[in-house]
C-alpha cells in the first residue's frame, strides 16, 4: 500500500484531494511528521531544482511556507506574480505553463477558478501544485489534518465541525475528513452551502471509508460534542458573485459560547487570516483552545512532505 501511494505521488500534479486515495494522503502526513520531528538537515531532494510560485492572489502563509520548504529541501523558489507576467497582457495560461516548463522543475499555483489551474497543468510538462483556487485549498487541508492528528492522537473517528462559509477550505476539509475516517459536520447560512457536487463526492467517500458527513444550517447542532471547531473568513478571496452580509453569518461566529458547546477538550482552528470579532472572537483565537499558530506552522511541514514525495527517489 505504501509503495503504491509513493508511486501515485511521484512526479504527480497535486490539483485537489479528489484524485488521491487515503493511503497517499496518509503517506504525506506521515512524511510531514517525520520531517517535523527530524528536521531538514539531511533532506536535499530539490538540490539543483527551481520551483516556480505563480500567484495571482495575495498570500502570506502559503507563499512563505512554500518558499521556505523549497529552500530547506535544497531548491530555489522563484516567485512569479500574476500581475507581472504576460498573462496580464493576454498570453494564455496554457502557453505560460508550457514556456515555464522549459525553465523550472515545478509550479506552485495560486489562482482563481479551478479551470485556470487545470489549464496550466494540462500544458505544463512539470508537476503543478494547487496553492489555492476558488474551489479548493488542498495544501491547507494537509496541514489541518497534521495538526488534528497531533492534538487528537489520530484522525479516525474525530468529530470535526466546520462553521461559516461553504468555501474552498470547507471543500478540502470535507474531502480530507471523509477520506480519512472522520465525522465531519458543516454548518453554513442558507445559500452558502458547499457545492452540491463536492457534497455528493464526499458522501461516496463516507460509504467507502467509514466516515460521516452532515450538511446543515445549525451551528450549535454541528458543534455539539465536536472534537474540533474550524472556521474561516466569511467572504473568501474573489467571492463576488454572491456577496455575503455580516448579519447572516453572526450565528456562526466562533465565540466562547459556541466553544463551550463542543467537547471539553475541543480545539479551535482557523486557516488565517482572521477577521477578529467577525468569524472568530479574540478570546477564542488567543485562548487556550486555539491551535491556529501550530496549524499555520504545519503548512511548512505538510508542503515540504508533499514536495519530497513528488520529487523523491
Given the residues 63, 137, 192, 289, the one annotated as active site: 137
Residue 137 a catalytic site member: yes
* Rounded Cα–Cα distance for residues 197 and 246 (Å): 27
pLDDT per residue over 40-63, tens digit each? Answer: 876 789 999 999 999 999 999 999
Q: Of 200, 130, 210, 218, which is closest to residue 177 (Cα–Cα)?
A: 210
Given the residues 136, 139, 271, 303, the one annotated as active site: 271
Half-sphere exposure of 65 (CA within 13 A, CB side): 22
Given the residues 232, 253, 270, 295, the one annotated as active site: 232
Given the residues 13, 140, 170, 295, the one annotated as active site: 140
Residue 232 a catalytic site member: yes
Which residue blocks in 108-188 are alpha helix, DSSP H? 114-123, 138-152, 168-179
Residue 140 a catalytic site member: yes
pLDDT per residue over 222-245, tens digit each? Answer: 999 999 999 999 976 445 455 557
Q: Report the chain's terminal Cα–Cα distance, integer Å.
A: 17
Q: What is the pLDDT of residue 88?
A: 77
Q: Where in the chain is the domain with CATH 3.40.50.1370?
A: 2-136+299-311, 140-296
Cut 0.85: pTM above it: yes
Q: What is the pLDDT of residue 237?
A: 44
Is the bond preceding 273 in cis, omega lying within 30 degrees of 0?
yes
Given the residues 61, 63, 110, 270, the one annotated as active site: 110
Range 2-136+299-311: architecture per CATH:
3-Layer(aba) Sandwich (3.40)
For residue 174, pLDDT over 60 is answered with yes
Q: What is the CATH number of domain 140-296?
A: 3.40.50.1370
Q: What is the pLDDT of residue 43?
A: 72
Amino acid at each position: 500500500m505504501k509503495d503504491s501511494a509513493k508511486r501515485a505521488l511521484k512526479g504527480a500534479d497535486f490539483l485537489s484531494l479528489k484524485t488521491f486515495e487515503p493511503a497517499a494522503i496518509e503517506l504525506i502526513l506521515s512524511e510531514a511528521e517525520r520531517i517535523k520531528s527530524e528536521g531538514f538537515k539531511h533532506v536535499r531532494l530539490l538540490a539543483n531544482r527551481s520551483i516556480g510560485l505563480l500567484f495571482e492572489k495575495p498570500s502570506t502563509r502559503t507563499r512563505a511556507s512554500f518558499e521556505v520548504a523549497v529552500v530547506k529541501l535544497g531548491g530555489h523558489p522563484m516567485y512569479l506574480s500574476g500581475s507581472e507576467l504576460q498573462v496580464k497582457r493576454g498570453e494564455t495560461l496554457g502557453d505560460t505553463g508550457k514556456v515555464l516548463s522549459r525553465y523550472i522543475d515545478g509550479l506552485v499555483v495560486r489562482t482563481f477558478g479551478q479551470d485556470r489551474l487545470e489549464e496550466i497543468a494540462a500544458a505544463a510538462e512539470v508537476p503543478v501544485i494547487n496553492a489555492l483556487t476558488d474551489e479548493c485549498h488542498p495544501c491547507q487541508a494537509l496541514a489541518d489534518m497534521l495538526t488534528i492528528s497531533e492534538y487528537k492522537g489520530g484522525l479516525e473517528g474525530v468529530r470535526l465541525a466546520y462553521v461559516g462559509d461553504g468555501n474552498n477550505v470547507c471543500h478540502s476539509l470535507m474531502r480530507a475528513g471523509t477520506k480519512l475516517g472522520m465525522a465531519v459536520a458543516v454548518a453554513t447560512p442558507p445559500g452558502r452551502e458547499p457545492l452540491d457536487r463536492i457534497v455528493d463526492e464526499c458522501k461516496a467517500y463516507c460509504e467507502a471509508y467509514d466516515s460521516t458527513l452532515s450538511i446543515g444550517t445549525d451551528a450549535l447542532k454541528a458543534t455539539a460534542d465536536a472534537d474540533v471547531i474550524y472556521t474561516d473568513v466569511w467572504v473568501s478571496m474573489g467571492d463576488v458573485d454572491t456577496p455575503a452580509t455580516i448579519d447572516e453569518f453572526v450565528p456562526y461566529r466562533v465565540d466562547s459560547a459556541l466553544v463551550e458547546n463542543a467537547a471539553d477538550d475541543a480545539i479551535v482552528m482557523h486557516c488565517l487570516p482572521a477577521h477578529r470579532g467577525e468569524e472568530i472572537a479574540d478570546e477564542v483565537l488567543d485562548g487556550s483552545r486555539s491551535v491556529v499558530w501550530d496549524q499555520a506552522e504545519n503548512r511548512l511541514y505538510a508542503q515540504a512532505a508533499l514536495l519530497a514525495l513528488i520529487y523523491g527517489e
